[in-house]
Amino acid sequence: MATLLTLQELRNRQSWSLEQKVDHALGAIEKMANENNNKLYVAFSGGRDSTVLLHIARMLYKEIPAVFVNTTNENALILKFVKKTENVTILNPKITFIDVLKNNGFPLFSKEVCKKINDILKGSNANTINHHYQKNSIGALSEKYHKIIASNIPLYSGCCKTLKKDPLQKYQRENKRGALVGTMASESLRREKSYLRTSCVNLKANRAMPISIFLEKDITNYIKKYNVEISEIYKEEKRTGCAYCAFGIQFDKNKFLRLKEREPKRYEIVMNTINTSSGLCYYDVLKRFKIPC
Ligand code: SF4
């Protein structure tokens, strides 16, 4: 697919000073504001990155709304922080995370892994399946996940869409506002590729990612420089996201053990949730893949 920028251009931008990056972010926000008659919102997760984006956006537009989707799988300290942030609209998805576990399946390892395994299990088109199995091929299913295929465990790749994206898109449609999203190209290869395709402003999707070229250290430096208040959860956790999600668990293996200690009652409820089609509970599934819990 054609890209708007080269990887070298992205690397150059990522090497800019914090001040240059903030200027660049303000430029992207202004561009979006011009396209949207000054009607924008910040997709706010209560995490560090979107807190920084909200701070930058409110330098220009003090009244810009922050919009938070309560996935029902939020860390209690994130919810506490969101509730005390000014001018936040809280959206609720149609179903809960517990409903997803019961009726759809488990979000395990990554969206891509779940999707590829479901393609194989549902017998999607033969070319797709062959590609997923091809050794050393870009985009194939890594061999370490092949054992899940035979396990008969229902996986669900659409959880983010159901619990997060759909409520936000509905809000965007109904309120006719352009979205500011606090993602960074450095977070993953997928985000990097997406940035190269569209740069910071994706007018087609009516969405801008003004802090795309920031690095983790820029977020830390910005918080220090501007004395930005962030959630207390960062005293305990480096990164946040949905509390009981097992996407990315391979990079933070002890996450569930920390939750067990921090909130034992909720931990029991989530872990004992039984998926109706397989009869397996979340705890059984995690144990089967030797995920500490
Ligand atoms: S991060 Fe995980 S639990 Fe949260 S919405 Fe996405 S898949 Fe679901």
Q: Tell me the C-alpha distance between 163 and 165, whole Å.
A: 7
Q: Which atom of ligand 1 is nearest to the CA of 100?
A: 8
Please enumerate in sequence order all residues whose Cβ is within 8 A of that of 157, keeping only pairs 6 or more positions apart, or say none.
107, 111, 112, 114, 115, 118
Write the pLDDT tens digit of every residue in 93-152. Answer: 999 999 999 999 999 989 988 988 888 887 766 666 666 666 666 677 888 788 788 787
CATH classification of 7-94+159-235 is 3.30.565.10, yes or no? Answer: no
CB of 241 shorter than 6 A to ligand 1: yes
CB of 106 shorter than 6 A to ligand 1: no
Domain spans in the chain, listed from the N-terminal domain onward: 7-94+159-235, 98-157+242-288
Tell me how far the alpha carbon of residue 118 lies from the centroid of ligand 1, in angstroms: 17
Sheet containing strand 40-43, edge to edge, reads 88-91, 66-69, 40-43, 178-181, 207-208, 201-202
Q: Report how far Cα 24 is from the mean position of its chain's Cα atoms.
A: 23
CB of 114 shorter than 6 A to ligand 1: no
Strand residue runs (E) in 157-206: 178-181, 201-202
293 residues of the chain, pLDDT tens digit each? 678 999 999 999 999 999 999 999 999 999 999 999 999 999 999 999 999 999 999 999 999 999 999 999 999 999 999 999 999 999 999 999 999 999 999 999 899 889 888 888 877 666 666 666 666 666 778 887 887 887 878 999 999 999 999 999 999 999 999 999 999 999 999 899 999 999 999 999 999 999 999 999 999 999 999 999 999 999 989 889 999 999 999 889 999 999 999 999 999 999 999 999 999 999 999 999 899 99
Task: Determine the pLDDT at residue 140.
Answer: 76
Are 52 and 219 spatial neighbours (Cβ–Cβ below 8 Å)? Answer: yes
Task: Determine the pLDDT at residue 133.
Answer: 65
Torsion of CA 98, 102, 103, 105, to 10 degrees: 90
Q: Tell me the C-alpha distance between 265 and 83, whole Å.
A: 22
* Closest residue by CA, ligand 1 atom 2: 245
* Closest residue by CA, ligand 1 atom 6: 160
Tell me how far the alpha carbon of residue 275 lies from the centroid of ligand 1, in angstroms: 16
Q: Which atom of ligand 1 is nearest to the CA of 246?
A: 2
Q: Which residues of 183-215 are buried (b: 16+ CB within 10 A; e: fewer)?
A: bbbbeeeeebebbbebbbbbeeebbbbbbbbbb
